[in-house]
Every structure is written in structure tokens, then in C-alpha cells.
Structure 1
């Protein structure tokens, strides 16, 4: 079974954090959820994003998600794979050089990476999308292409795998996204 790192933060998307965390644990994998500036036992606030016919998603308060590892103690080399949830967190996590270095490690070592929705913002900032096909929430298409990637405009229920990278537009793609990610673990 794989040892997986999940990098998240306040106002991460609720489903995109809780569902992969719990699903991967249920399948026997080990998952360490971390956030810069926080320790095991601390929580991050989540946001529930929904698609209700507006010009963009709606946002409502979600749950408090308990972290189970310390960001400062994480050595990316000791993990087999990375999960990057979407939501608002990637927007500011991409400004943290330690986060970007950890993300780059997984690409340099060709380890499996699963990113969903706004998680592509973190991948773009880390400079790991050049020459890769990546799906994301459509509003993140610019970040994908500006960083040298090809944006995969796929249905919200689908996912795409490009080598070690599995991406999807948003949480309705969880079945496809997690199935593809587990296939490359």
C-alpha cells in the first residue's frame, strides 16, 4: 500500500479533501494531510463548492478537516504519491516556496500525483505542467496553458491521466479521478 501526502489549507474544497482522504484510507493506503503553519491535530476550514446554474460555483462553509501530520516534519522523499485538492487553498499555497519544492519532488521522481479543480494552480506555480495535459476547473485553464501545459476541457464527471499525473475538473469526477489515481499507485 502507498504512503500518500496531501497538501491542503484553509478553505480547501470540502469534498475534494474529505472524499479522497477517506477513500484512500479505506483502500488501505496511508495518507498524511498537512498544511503550512499547522501541525497534526490542527484543522483547516473547508468550503463547499456547488454548481447551481450561476456563472461560477457557489461557496458555502464546510467542515473543519483535521490534519494528521506536521507540515514542517514532512520529507517528500518518504512518500509514494501526492494529492492536491482544489478550493481556495491552492491560490495562496502556491506562494509558499516549501510547498512548491515538495510538489516538484513528486514530478522529478516521477511519482503519482492527483490534482483536482483549482489544484492545477499549485502545479502551474511549481512549473511542472510544461508539455503535460492537465484538467482543472475551467477558470484555471489560463494557468495551465500559461505554464506550458495543455488544458483538457473534459466533462465535469471525467478525469484524465498523463503519465504520473491524474487530474479532473471538480468533485463530480471523484469516481473517475480516484479510479485512475489508484491504477497508477
Structure 2
């Protein structure tokens, strides 16, 4: 089995939701190819830091420049064991790109880790019908309109449905990444 994973990024991706899985999966020995449509290896996407500070929704602050490690146009989905889709604002506009939708659909029978607003991409790709999917609560209508079953779970929890692992937001990283690693068939030994 290949030790390569694809990570789909775009400007204003949530900072923790791209940085943490990129680093954690790399630590486990995976080559994580981070790509963005219309960008090349070595170019950057801007991130945003989302926090929960008692408002009706999350707050947003400038994050970092995240360096892409591969070129979107060169990606062959067959080369990857799984797909990671972080949240933030990127999924909102990435779902309008037919190449992105085709790429997400190509992973429908392989492990996918999607967090927060990534459910917007899963819904647009029409790959969640009848499946339990968690997401940031504001994405519940997207999940349900795509005939998915919204999993209303704690913000630090995750849910696995077959090869699909989803979570509501970055506080779920420990559960989300542990479940994704299990779906990948990897073992973590201490």
C-alpha cells in the first residue's frame, strides 16, 4: 500500500486543520502532498485561525502562509492511499471547481478525513448519501441536502462511517486523526 496522502487546500483554509494533520501524518511516515487548484509546489495558501470565543459563530484571525508540497495539475488520484480535506473557508469556493469535485469523487472508495467545513466539498461531490457525517454545525444543511445523516457530536469527537472520517472542528484532532489512522490501517506504537 502506498504511503502517500493527498491534502486539499485553498486560501483561508483553517490554520490548525491544515497544519496539524500535515505534520502529524508526516510524523507517521506518510508523504503528505498538499495541493491547491491553480497553484504549484512551493507556492503558498493563506490560512485563517478560527476560535470559539462566545460569539454566535467562530471568530477569524489571520493565520500563516502554508507552503504547498505538490502541484494540483500533476496529481494522479491513483497514487494516493487517502484524502485529507481541512475546513475553514476554502471548501466554500473549492466546491465550485469541477476538477476539485472530480478529485473528491475519485476518492469515494478510499479513506477520506474531512473536518469542519470540508463537508461542503463532500456534499457537492455527492458522496455522502446515507452516510453519517459530522461537520461544523453551520454545514448541517449541506450534509442533509446531499442526503447525508448529520452526526451532531461533541466538538472534540469524530465519527467514522466506512472509510469516511469526519469531525466538527479542530478541537477534535486527537479523535479525528486517530480514527483516520485506523481506517488507513496504520499502527502507532509507543
- The bucket for the TM-score relative to the shorter chain is over 0.9
Per the alignment, residue 137 of structure 2 pairs with 138
For residues 3 and 125 of structure 2, what CA distance do their matches in structure 1 show?
23
2:111 corresponds to 1:88:
no
For residues 28 and 2 of structure 1, what CA distance do their matches in structure 2 show?
7
Detail structure 1 runs of 4+ shifted over 4 Å in the superposition: none
Deviation at 1:182?
0.1
TM-score (norm 1): 0.98
For residues 2 and 168 of structure 1, what CA distance do their matches in structure 2 show?
23
Deviation at 1:77?
1.3
Deviation at 1:124?
0.3
Per the alignment, residue 188 of structure 2 pairs with none
Deviation at 1:2?
2.4
Deviation at 1:78?
1.2
For residues 10 and 162 of structure 1, what CA distance do their matches in structure 2 show?
28
For residues 153 and 130 of structure 2, what CA distance do their matches in structure 1 show?
18
Cα shift readout 1:6-28 (whole Å, capped 9, x = no counterpart): 01100000000000000000111
For residues 122 and 184 of structure 1, what CA distance do their matches in structure 2 show?
20
Cα shift readout 1:102-153 (whole Å, capped 9, x = no counterpart): 100111xx21000000000000000001011100000000000000100000
Per the alignment, residue 42 of structure 1 pairs with 43
2:161 corresponds to 1:162:
yes
Matches within 5 A, 1:4-15: 4-15=5-16
For residues 60 and 11 of structure 1, what CA distance do their matches in structure 2 show?
10
Unpaired segments of 5 or more residues in structure 1? none
Unpaired segments of 5 or more residues in structure 2? 185-190
For residues 121 and 51 of structure 1, what CA distance do their matches in structure 2 show?
20
For residues 77 and 48 of structure 2, what CA distance do their matches in structure 1 show?
27
Contact preservation (8 Å) 1:85, 1:115? yes
Per the alignment, residue 21 of structure 1 pairs with 22
Q: Number of residues paired by the alignment?
A: 183
For residues 17 and 64 of structure 2, what CA distance do their matches in structure 1 show?
12
